[in-house]
Structure 1
């Protein structure tokens, strides 16, 4: 891991450190604060939600979104706690918003046909770029979108 980190640019190392910090903050935030108080902080809620790709973004924003995707994935994989889809989505949304990159966080649900159990998932998209939570199960239906 350390050898791989040294091979990255200083900007990418800073982005990974920021991703670790955002994941930890998201985990604490989501564990302590009721969702009714979390939701307004995610952005403007769009209902009914669709998972259609957003408007295209400029190449620089697309590159930054891909770098954030990579940083979140590395941080989540190496975090000393479980960073689930919602923590990853909340962290990515905050990182993208801080850079003024238009994005949408989706909350979805699906019913497991075998057990009847409901499953939930969260994902973030920038234009057609999947930042976190991809690939999304085709049975997953977006029930809320936060821009």
Structure 2
């Protein structure tokens, strides 16, 4: 009982943005996971943004956009810790893409591969960058080779 009380007190100390968006982001993480499990990547890819292949891009953000991207990153990481389903890098990346699109913040969603030297198999990773802010997945550039990049759609197109 005391554990729940500590968690509630901890949640109440979080910023207003985090308290407001925690439940919606938690739900979006679940929907993202469900979509990933039910749709093929070919059908999901158009919703991720504009594919630019193997090229890596960085958008320039204003200070308010950067602050909002950091807030989005924090709430996604917090919500993913409390998911009873798998909320690994791919559902987090899809959720980050949706949240950044909602707030009209330019992003780049990356897919990467790396060979695990111990077992000789490939590991895959997805991460989202908004300017210099790693919104989900951390700094994947150090450990993974980029095999795909999706950018925010042009402003005249829907997010």
Q: Normalized against structure 1, the TM-score is what? A: 0.92
Q: Which residue of 1 aligns with 2:25?
A: 19
Instruction: Tell me the CA shift for residue 115 of structure 1.
Output: 1.9
Q: How many residues align?
A: 145
Please give the secondary structure, in 1, of the residue aligned with 2:87: coil
Q: Which residue of 2 aligns with 1:101?
A: 105
Instruction: Tell me the CA shift for residue 10 of structure 1.
Output: 3.4
Instruction: Tell me the CA shift for residue 137 of structure 1.
Output: 6.3
- Structure 1: runs of 5+ lacking an equivalent: none
Please give the secondary structure, in 2, of the residue aligned with 1:93: helix
Q: Larger deviation: 128-137 or 103-112?
A: 128-137
The CA RMSD measured in Å over matched residues stands at 1.4
Q: Aligned in 2, Cα 1:26/1:75: closer, same or farther, shift over 3 Å? A: same
Q: Normalized against structure 2, the TM-score is what? A: 0.86
Question: Quick check: 2:127–2:137 contact (8 Å CA) kept in 1?
Answer: yes
- Structure 2: runs of 5+ lacking an equivalent: 1-6, 152-159
Please give the secondary structure, in 2, of the residue aligned with 1:48: coil
Please give the secondary structure, in 2, of the residue aligned with 1:143: strand
CA–CA separation in structure 1 for the residues paired with 2:98 and 2:120: 34
Q: Larger deviation: 16-25 or 4-13?
A: 4-13
